[in-house]
Amino acid sequence: MIQSIIQIRKSPAVMHIDADAGTFAIRQPKADLSITTTLGELTVQSTRPELTIDQSRAWAAYNGGNMLDMNKRIYSGIEQLYLQGIAKRVEQGNRMAEFFKPGNTIGEVYGMDTEPNSFPETRSPASYDNVDIHIQTQAPQLSYRPAQVDVKIERNAPEIEFTRGKLDVYMQSYGSLQFIPPNLSV
């Protein structure tokens, strides 16, 4: 009896895959920046202060002042002296009317009247406050224009580069199926 055995040989298929990932290169240029500045402006307009000095009352106290004022003082002073003189004469007459009282003799009433009548004062009274000083000021006029800043930004788009990776697929060895018949020998 002959046995026959068929041999089957197989070899598997070997597939080879070689893959590298792709690469990205991203570059972002800086934005272009443009800044323009307009300077602020401050304008100040000021006026000089006005100084007024009135020393007419001081001159009136030193030397009588102007003629009109001095004549007014003399006139009003003479009027007062005249009224004082009349009052004095009335008083002397009243004393003479009472001649019987001791001390009211003619010698005592009129003999003691030896002081001369004074002339009215031609000058005004002296005072530390005879000079008037006035200072008139005005507030300065201010105008202000604020500074302005103009900023312009121009952005640049990113630059993107992609390099493909490689993908190699190939058969390193093919699969095979081999039938080996039996060896028949008779």
For the segment 92-106, what is each residue's pLDDT rounded down to a tens digit? 888 888 878 887 777
Strand partners, 14: 173
Average pLDDT over residues 170-184: 84
* pLDDT, tens only, 72-91: 888 888 888 888 888 888 88
- Whether residues 53 and 118 fall in one domain: yes
The secondary element (H helix, E strand) that includes residue 69 is helix 67-97
Query: Which domain does 4 fall in, by range?
Result: 1-37+155-186
Q: Is 67 domain-assigned? A: yes
pTM of the model: 0.38
Residue 132 shares a structural domain with residue 52: yes
**Does one domain contain both 133 and 52?**
yes
Shared-domain flag, residues 21 and 86:
no
- Same domain for 9 and 72, yes or no, is no
64 and 104 co-located in one domain: yes
Question: Hey, which residues does 150 pair with through a beta bridge?
Answer: 36
Spatial separation of the C-alpha atoms in residues 168 and 170, rounded to whole Å? 6
pLDDT of res. 186: 60
Residues 113 and 164 in one domain: no
60 pLDDT more than 90: no
Q: Which tokens in the block code for residue 162?
A: 């992609």
Residues 121-149 have a mean pLDDT of 89
Note whether 23 and 53 are same-domain residues: no
Residue 142: closest CA among 41, 8, 1 = 41
Considering the domain architecture, whether residues 68 and 122 belong to the same structural domain is answered as yes
Residue 1 has pLDDT above 60, yes or no: no
Q: Answer yes or no: do 53 and 124 share one domain.
A: yes
Closest to 12 in 3D by CA, of 170, 171, 167, 169 = 171
Whether 139 and 47 have beta carbons less than 8 Å apart is answered as: no
Reference 8, options 183, 177, 182, 174; nearest CA is 177
**For 38-66, what is the mean pLDDT?**
89
What is the spatial distance between Cα 171 and Cα 173, in angstroms, rounded to a whole number?
Answer: 5
Asked whether residue 83 is assigned to any structural domain, the reply reads yes
Share of the chain above pLDDT 70, in %: 97
Lowest mean pLDDT among 57-61, 104-108, 134-138: 104-108
* Rounded Cα–Cα distance for residues 64 and 164 (Å): 116
**Domain total in the chain:** 2
Q: Does residue 157 surpass a pLDDT of 80?
A: yes
